[in-house]
Every structure is written in C-alpha cells, then in structure tokens.
Structure 1
Amino acid sequence: MMDQSIKFDLDLIKRYDKSGPRYTSYPTALELHEGFGELQYHQHIVKSNAAGGPLSLYFHIPFCDTVCFYCACNKIVTKNRVHAVPYLENLCKEIAMQGVLFDKHRTVNQLHWGGGTPTFLSYEQMKQLMETTRQHFNLLDDDSGEYSIEVDPRETNDLTIAQLRELGFNRISLGLQDFDPEVQKAVNRLQSQEQTFAVLEAARKEGFRSTNIDLIYGLPLQTEQTFARTLDEVLAYAPDRFSIFNYAHMPSRFKTQRQINEVDLPTPAVKLEILQMVGKKLTDAGYVFIGMDHFAKPDDELAVAQRQGKLYRNFQGYSTHSDCDLVGLGVTAIGRVGDAYVQNFKELDQYDAAISQGRLPVFRGVELDADDKLRRGVITQLICHFDLSFHKIEREFNIVFADYFATEMENLHIMQDDGLLSLTANGIKVKPAGRLLIRNICMVFDKYLAQQQQQFSKVI
C-alpha cells in the first residue's frame, strides 16, 4: 500500500511559503500566446485524431446570480436569465464546429460543466446543451463515463438533481466555502446548512457516484475554531471528496476581491493553524491526502487511481483520465489537444464575434517542445504520486536524468537536507513533510518560473 500520510512541519512551511503555480498544466497558462491560433489548433487536432484515444470535454458556463467577493473565476454576474440565451446558442454552434473536427469513433470518457454556475441554465437549456453535445460527440450511454458538474446549492434543489442525473451526470461538486454567518456576510455568499445538505442527500438518492464539497480557508473573519465547526458539520455528512483551497487575495488582478476588507483577513499564522487542523481532522476521519488541497475517501476513484499510479492532473484539477485529450468549449475555456494547449477568447463579445463569423473562438495557445513534455512528465508524476522513477523518465524521453537536470538536482539535495524528500540513484520520494509543499518541489523543474513568479498565489 502507498503511504498517503502528511506531516505538518511549521518551520518547513514558513521557510518554503512563497508564490508558485498550481500546475494544472505545464507549461502553465501564462505561457499561452496569441501567435498560436485556429490554424495551429486544426493541425494538432489532425495529429490527435491520428493518435486516437478517448476525449474529455469541458464546458464553461460563466453566469452567476450573485457575486462572491473571493471569486477569481471568469464569470458574468446577472439576475437576468435571458442573458444565457445568446451564449447558449453560440456554445451549441461551437460544439458543432469542434465536433466535426474530431473522429466520431473517439468516445467521450470524461465531461465536466464548470463556471460560473452551470445550474444558472434552466432544465430545458441544460437538456439542449447535452443533446447538442451528444449529436456532435460520441457520448457514452452506459453511465461508465466520468460526467461531472459544479453546482451552487442556492441554485439547486431535489428536482434539479434528478434532472442532472437524467441528463447523464454521475459526479457532483457542491460549492460551500464556509458556514460561519459572519464569514458568509464578509464574502457575500449566504448559504444555509439546510440548502447544502439537502442537495448532497439528493445527489446520493439519485445515484451520483461521487460527491465533493468545496471549502476555502483564508477568508475574512475565519479562525481555526470557526472553520473547524464548518468542517465538523460537513464531515457529519461524509462527502466522498473535499477540495479545500487556500484563498489567494489578489485584488489587483480580480476586481471583485477589492470588496473584501483586507484587515479582516486571517494572518499567515492563523491560516497555518487552520491548515494544520484541516489535515488532522480529515485524516483522523479516514480521508487520504490526494495532494494540492484535495482529500478523498480511500475507496474513491481518485485515491484508488493514485495508489495504482494512474492519477493525472489537468485544468479541472486531479483526474483519472490521463489518456484523454481535453476539448475546451465556451468563453475562456482551455483545452489540451495533442502536444498543445489552446484557450478560447476571454471576453464575451470576442467569443460572440468569432462564432458569428463561423470561426473557432481560439484566442491563444502554446505548442509544447521536447523539453516542455519532459518537464511536464516529471512534474505530473511528482504532483500526482509523490515519487519519481528516474529510469522511467530516462526510458521515455531518452535522457540521462542526472545530467539533464544537473542544476535541479542541486536544489533537490537542499530539499533532501530539509526533510522534504529523499533522493536515491533510482529516483525521488516525497516525504510526508514534503507533501503539503509539493508545489515547491515541482517548481524546481519549471524553467519558466523566474520571470513569472509574481503572477502566482502563495503555495500555502
């Protein structure tokens, strides 16, 4: 059995607490550029079809009824549901344009609706979107795929959950963040326990195979005690997974965060107390640390995939489908097709203009070179499995690891001295004290990091 324990070393965390990427991709999205356009995307789709294999689809639904002050997502805040109509029309047109480019024999093993708030759409609209997708892509009919959706419990009820299950969704993620009423007021997200747990129970009743709860630590007015109460309340309902994110306060980049009173934010010391409490409570409750703020029950697919060495990481986080090319659909959506990442336009008017002209709404992208693919392989293995076989990398990429990464090995020796990892002639094993700092270990292999450091949030 794989050791999935974590060790909270306050001194190490303080010394290594600096800004860095979350590595949902390597290179990160900051390396995407406008020199990569629709023509290059077409070329990579041709290569992807030649290689074959299943697909993953991501749909971005940007609408929200109210604004949460902490949010860093690309969203459109409106109470007018009519605004979704032209967007949905454009999204269906994009599905048709993208669908014709991909081999119809390629099954869609993974599908995800994110946002925003996907359930901002009516049932009729959601049904139209799924039917259009099924018309142009090869969706599975036997419920064996990983078809997931993010929901806001304030926008969801028993009927909605039954409808989502009918549409083919079998995994669900519920946004919560915190139950404390003062914290909820401070971030403009008022949400009751009754709303939240009614949705969770309805999802179980309808046969959703995995339930996830999203929480955020580091929000204004949070303390270790208040967040512990929220965690205890959620643990009583035992969701299959937890995503517990560190709030990154970057008001210069995200305008909505300017409405947060900075003096109310917990100090770094308090955030560390919360993090330590979270790790202990969840592991004591039987959850395993997947990595990067994620915990899961031992029998959950993520935990099983990690133990089997099959875990992967993409733009939606941890995944069990490393074999899938990812097609991003909708405004600002990012995909990974073949050896390229591609992103749609971020602004709604630009997205609309491209679709109206019959063009794919490609805004920017990047083609990975041999070094990128090598470093991606190293980082993915470390961030998903906490160990790395030099021989496996050498065989796959035809290099001598110690020679190619001579400079990086010097930094790894320092981390070994600090107790984050152990180095042998065969590879790297991340120790329990290093697992919370896995981003730091991955950063050693990131050749782009120096010029981009200021763009990222703190690792803890």
Structure 2
Amino acid sequence: MVFALPGVKFDLDMIKKYDTPAPRYTSYPPATQLTEGFTSTDYQRAIAASNQRKSPLSLYFHIPFCQSSCYFCGCNTVISNNKNIAKPYLEHLEREIKNTSNLIDPDRKVLQIHWGGGTPNYLDCDQVEFLWKSITHHFNIDPQAEISIEINPRYVDKDYIFFLREIGFNRISFGIQDFNSQVQKAVNRIQPEELLLDAMSWIKAAKFDSVNVDLIYGLPYQTLQTFRETVKKTVALDPDRIVVFNFAYVPWLKPAQKNIPLEALPKPQEKLEILKMTIEELTNSQYRFIGMDHFAKPNDELAIAQQNHTLQRNFQGYTTHAGTELFGFGATSISMLHDAYVQNHKQLKDYYQAVASDALPVSKGIKLTADDVLRRDVIMCIMSNFHLHKQKVAEKYHINFDEYFAQELDALKPLEADGLVSISSKHIQVTEIGRLLVRNIAVVFDIYHHNQDKHFSRTI
C-alpha cells in the first residue's frame, strides 16, 4: 500500500523541545560503534559471506586532498598545494583496489560509484583517467550505473567538466554554501557568483543526468535576508537536488573553525528562522522535502523511491539502490556490507603502510548482530520513507513486532502525543511536524544511543 507523501510543517515549539543530539543514521549501528577489535581477517570473512549473497555493489573512492581549508568543513582532508602528493596516494589506492577486488566475486555488478573527498577534482585529467581505468579493470560496471563525483567549482573549467562526462561520470555535485561574499570570505571559500553560474552552465551543456548542490545555514554573517537571496539564486540554477546542511560549530573537533568569528554566527532564533524560510522557499519552488537536509525535484529518483517506500540510506546519504553492498576505498573510507561495517585508516602513513604490505587497510569495524540488522531496517524505513509497515517487518524477521518492540512503542507515546508520529496496529507514520524531527523518532529504536549524546550533532 502506497501512502501519499505528506508535506512538512515547521513547529517551532516542537523543534525547540526536541532539539537534542542524535545520530544522522547514515548507518545503524552508528559509526561510533566501530572498534579496533575488528581486523582485516574479519573483513575478509565478511567479504566471503557477501559473495555468497551475490548482492550488487556500490563503490566509494575517497580523495582527501584540498588546495585550501574551508573553515566550515568537517571532512577528513589533507590540505596541500603540492599536487605531487596525489601521486603516491593514487598508487596505493590502485593497489588497494586490486587487493580487495581479488576477494570479491567478479560477476557481481557495480550499480553505483561515487568519488568524494576532500576535493576529487584536485586530480588532473591524467590522474582521473588513471584511477578510472583501475576501477573499470577490476570491477564489473553495469552500463546503467550511477557514477557521481563531487567537485569544487573553483578548480574546474569547461574542458574538465566535459572530460568528466566523457570518461563516464553521469552525476555531479558541488558546494555553493552561500552566494554572499562576506560569508564566503569569513569561511575562506571565495567563489564569485559568475564562477558558480559558469560551473552550472558547463555541467548542463555536458548533459549530466543529475546535478546536486550543497548549501550551509548557520555560517558567520548570514541573516534571514541574505540567505533568502542565496536560496533564490540556487533555485534559479535549477539543480535536481539541493542539500541544506546545518553548520555545527565544533572548534574543539575541527581546529580550522577557530578562524571563524564566534560573534558573527547567527543566533539560535535566527538560525531557526533561516531554516524555516529555506524549507518554505524550496517547497514553494516545487522541491520535495526528502528528509534530513535533502530536497529533490518531484521527478528525481529520490522522490520517486520515497513515494514507493523504497528509499534507503548509507554512508553516502540517501540512495535508491536498496540491495547494494558498499565497498569504500582510500584513507578514512567506510565499507558497509550487509552484516559488517569497516573503516580504513585515517592517517595516510598508516594507510600507506598497510597497503604496501598487501594487507587490507582496516582501522576498525563492527560485525552486526541479528538484532542490529532488524533495528537497522526499522530505523532506515523511518528515516528514509517516514513510514513503517509493521507486518512486513514482522514477516521478514519472523517476530511479533509489537511484542519485540514493546518498550520502543511505549517510548514513542509522548512523541505521538506531541503530534510527531502516528501509530496504528499496522503502521508507524511520521507526521508533517515529525518529518523535521525524524531523528528523534528513529533514535527510540537505537539500543546504542544511551550515554552517547556527546558524539552527535543536534537534530536541528
């Protein structure tokens, strides 16, 4: 049974009440549960079990390098203007691809590929081609695969964009963050409006299948009016998807943020007003609120998948390929198999040392229990589709849903009383008010969350 997708309502009182830390649920268990007790031997066993399932593949390649530091950034990056630094990294990345792919059944099709970072277009065209040839040599790429790349628009020209399209990329993403020059200067990411317009025009001329752009609210010197202008200019660019991230000021975790003037950050009340305005502007411009911080056109695959209750989440965010298993390559990357998550070494020296010895560069991981897999399914259904069909879960996992989750259903009663969720004998449905607070609903089913608040950002 397909439910009509509700809109989203901004209830300030509920947002203030429930604005507490919670995981973003790009995985369950959250990545904070990965431990160093999980070894490369454990990973090899997980890959062998994965081969038995014969699931299609999703591949992620991490390019950690950036030419300069964006003060808002929370990614794992290496800042360097010395482009020679990429050469040994690509050599080790190729070796990791070879060693890992040798353990994976070559008949398994790759349905998704994503290059992230850092700044993947830190690589020149020859380096992009080198990595691309390594991937296509070692993996069986489906002709209809989604192949996406993140770019920094400050470091591309028309020829580079067309080269990416010709080599095989069909989806592209770039960060706008904010059009306002004062904001850009404060976060050390100056990119004039003309530059952004050029980048989008080249992307459209190259006929990419889908374009995603990122915005960030809560940055220094932002006001309701200035960010409204940014949102309107972004809509005028006509991207297929828009992601609006909440800036988390955590200088104790990300030292570069110490360069941001604290007094210039918008106050909490204005930040909420900016979020409310953004949602209104985008939904009034026919973008559908997918969830968390994502918006998409109604004909976009994400919106269609959500309408059909087949949308999923993984470490790359929302995805339409529910049955794939994700293999990550490069420093810091995370692999997400059906019953195991694995993270590579974060430091280049550790990553290089492991790969050079032909070991899988495993830093930490986790083997999922049967309960983990069940709870992941429940949480991801709620996070992705704002709806859960109890009986389908019960039949899939051979449980009585209401008995198995009796404590959780009891814990949801206050949220139901506040209008965030509607619970019946057959369904759990997130309401229009609850969609902005979906993490608060999902966390009820998370048995790891107790005393873990310090690890996570706030829900709004």
Q: Deviations over 1:61-99 (max 9, x none)?
A: 000011000111000011110111110110011010111
Q: Deviations over 1:276-303 (max 9, x none)?
A: 0011001100010000100000001111
From 107, 110, 118, the equivalent of 2:109 is 107
Are 2:59 and 2:110, in contact at CA under 8 Å, matched by a contact in 1?
Answer: yes
2:195 partner amino acid:
Q
Partner residue of 1:321? 321
Q: What is the CA-CA distance between 1:255 and the residue it aligns to?
A: 1.5
Mapped partners of 1:71, 1:180: distance in 2: 18
1:218 partner amino acid:
G
Aligned to 2:274, the other structure's residue is in SS state helix
From 112, 117, 120, the equivalent of 1:118 is 120
Aligned to 2:445, the other structure's residue is in SS state coil
**1:203 matches 2:200:** no
Aligned to 2:305, the other structure's residue is in SS state helix
Mapped partners of 1:338, 1:415: distance in 2: 31
Aligned to 2:450, the other structure's residue is in SS state helix
Mapped partners of 1:313, 1:404: distance in 2: 24
**1:6 matches 2:5:** no
Partner residue of 2:375? 375
Partner residue of 2:290? 290
From 47, 67, 70, the equivalent of 2:69 is 67
Partner residue of 1:34? 36
Aligned to 1:110, the other structure's residue is in SS state strand
Q: TM-score, normalised by structure 1?
A: 0.98
Mapped partners of 1:73, 1:148: distance in 2: 18
Q: What is the CA-CA distance between 1:341 and the residue it aligns to?
A: 0.3
Aligned to 1:379, the other structure's residue is in SS state helix
Q: What is the CA-CA distance between 1:451 and the residue it aligns to?
A: 2.2
Q: What is the CA-CA distance between 1:338 and the residue it aligns to?
A: 2.9
Are 1:443 and 1:449, in contact at CA under 8 Å, matched by a contact in 2?
Answer: yes
**Residues 4-403 of structure 1: matches in 2 within 5 Å?**
4-140=6-142, 142=143, 144-403=144-403
Q: Deviations over 1:144-182 (max 9, x none)?
A: 111100011001111111111112110011111001111
Structure 2's unaligned 5+ residue stretches are none
| RMSD of equivalent CA atoms | 0.9
Mapped partners of 2:309, 2:403: distance in 1: 26
Are 2:6 and 2:431, in contact at CA under 8 Å, matched by a contact in 1?
Answer: no
Are 1:4 and 1:289, in contact at CA under 8 Å, matched by a contact in 2?
Answer: no
Structure 1's unaligned 5+ residue stretches are none
1:400 partner amino acid:
N
1:304 partner amino acid:
I
1:446 partner amino acid:
D
Q: What is the CA-CA distance between 1:186 and the residue it aligns to?
A: 0.9
Partner residue of 2:413? 413
Q: What is the CA-CA distance between 1:129 and the residue it aligns to?
A: 0.1
Mapped partners of 1:7, 1:40: distance in 2: 45
Runs of 4+ in 1 over 6 A off after TM superposition: none
Aligned to 2:113, the other structure's residue is in SS state strand
Mapped partners of 1:260, 1:335: distance in 2: 33
Q: What is the CA-CA distance between 1:267 and the residue it aligns to?
A: 1.1
Q: TM-score, normalised by structure 2?
A: 0.98
Aligned to 1:219, the other structure's residue is in SS state coil
2:407 partner amino acid:
T
Mapped partners of 1:253, 1:127: distance in 2: 35
1:151 partner amino acid:
I
1:222 partner amino acid:
Q
Mapped partners of 2:80, 2:35: distance in 1: 30
Q: What is the CA-CA distance between 1:196 and the residue it aligns to?
A: 1.2
1:180 partner amino acid:
N
Q: What is the CA-CA distance between 1:2 and the residue it aligns to?
A: 2.3
Are 2:345 and 2:351, in contact at CA under 8 Å, matched by a contact in 1?
Answer: yes
Report % sequence identity: 48
Are 1:342 and 1:366, in contact at CA under 8 Å, matched by a contact in 2?
Answer: yes
Aligned to 1:236, the other structure's residue is in SS state helix
Mapped partners of 2:407, 2:430: distance in 1: 19
Are 1:312 and 1:319, in contact at CA under 8 Å, matched by a contact in 2?
Answer: yes
Which is further off, 415-424 or 258-267? Answer: 258-267
Mapped partners of 1:330, 1:4: distance in 2: 40
Are 1:301 and 1:320, in contact at CA under 8 Å, matched by a contact in 2?
Answer: yes
Are 1:389 and 1:427, in contact at CA under 8 Å, matched by a contact in 2?
Answer: yes
Aligned to 1:366, the other structure's residue is in SS state strand
Aligned to 1:160, the other structure's residue is in SS state helix
Mapped partners of 2:157, 2:295: distance in 1: 26
Q: Deviations over 1:16-73 (max 9, x none)?
A: 0011111000001000001111101000111111110210000000000110001110
Which is further off, 394-403 or 177-186? Answer: 394-403
Aligned to 1:436, the other structure's residue is in SS state helix
Aligned to 1:392, the other structure's residue is in SS state helix
Mapped partners of 2:234, 2:367: distance in 1: 42
Q: Deviations over 1:312-365 (max 9, x none)?
A: 101010001111110000000001123100000011100011011111101110
Mapped partners of 1:404, 1:99: distance in 2: 39
Mapped partners of 2:257, 2:23: distance in 1: 20
Aligned to 1:98, the other structure's residue is in SS state helix
Are 1:58 and 1:112, in contact at CA under 8 Å, matched by a contact in 2?
Answer: yes
Are 1:118 and 1:150, in contact at CA under 8 Å, matched by a contact in 2?
Answer: yes
Aligned to 2:326, the other structure's residue is in SS state strand
Q: What is the CA-CA distance between 1:448 and the residue it aligns to?
A: 0.8
Q: Deviations over 1:198-241 (max 9, x none)?
A: 11121111111110110000111111111000111111121100
Are 1:184 and 1:190, in contact at CA under 8 Å, matched by a contact in 2?
Answer: yes
